[in-house]
Amino acid sequence: MERVETSPSAPVQEDAPDVHTRQARLFASVAIGAIVADQATKALIRAWLAEGETWPAGFELIHLSHVENTGAAFGILQGAGPLLVISSIVGVVVVLALLYTAPAGDRLYTAALALVLGGAVGNLIDRVLRGEVTDFIDPTHYPAFNLADSSIVVGVIALILLSFRPQASPDEGTE
């Protein structure tokens, strides 16, 4: 960490751009990782399984199924592609605004936002390029989903849990 000192009696300060650069790198790495993992697994499912096909057949707990979903989670809003594209774009803008206002150096908050953004962009890519989202993780008695959906859920749960952290008061540490 680079330190800047203006005079022998001046307080030592952290180089602020360094903190923001690390935060941006973390955000980009997690978001891009989520997008790449999502798109790669969807491409593999489309290549290996015909639409509607399940593997392994007869396994009752969880299996892989090639499902094309024109709606949202749990199959709601089928055929509402333009509405879902617009809502995804709004979600991306909201996440970026939250990142902009994020406390410097809060890695957990940054990573959680990146997971939400990565998942939203992963499904947005499918909706824009294909008009539907490929779902494939298919637990018994639960609708199929994909890694983008998982990224969004994990990110949102993390954000909720992080909201319960005790906040430092502005006076803390000044005594």
For Cα atoms 47, 148, 18, give the angle at the middle one, nearest 5 degrees. 120
Residue 4 lies in a domain: no
Domain that holds residue 43: 18-162
User: Which of the 8 DSSP states describes residue 145?
Assistant: B
Q: How far is 66 from 125, CA to CA, in rounded Å?
A: 18
Kindly state whether residue 73 falls inside one of the protein's structural domains: yes
> Does any domain span residue 54?
yes
In a domain, 2, yes or no: no
For residue 79, the model assigns a pLDDT of 76
Q: Does residue 94 lie within any of the structural domains? A: yes
The angle formed by the CA atoms of residues 155, 27 and 137, to the nearest 5 degrees, is 40
Whether 171 is catalytic is no
In one-letter notation, the amino acid at residue 159 is L
Instruction: Dump pLDDT digits (tens) for 27-68.
Output: 999 999 999 999 999 999 999 999 999 888 777 788 999 999
Q: Which amino acid is at 110?
A: T
Angle of helix 107-130 relative to helix 81-100, nearest 10 degrees?
A: 160
Please indicate, yes or no, if residue 3 is contained in any of the structural domains. no
In a domain, 125, yes or no: yes
Q: Is 135 marked active-site?
A: yes
| pLDDT grade for 19, boundaries at 50, 70 and 90 | confident
Contact indicator for 132, 68 with CB cutoff of 8 Å: yes
Alpha-carbon distances of 137 from 87, 144, 150, 153, rounded to whole Å: 24, 5, 10, 14
Structure tokens at 78: 């089928």
Q: With a threshold of 0.85, does the pTM exceed it?
A: no
The count of structural domains within the chain is 1
Q: Note whether residue 93 is domain-resident.
A: yes
Given the residues 18, 38, 126, 135, the one annotated as active site:
135
Q: Give bridge partners of residue 14 from the DSSP assignment.
A: 3
Q: Of 38, 106, 149, 171, which is the active-site residue?
A: 149
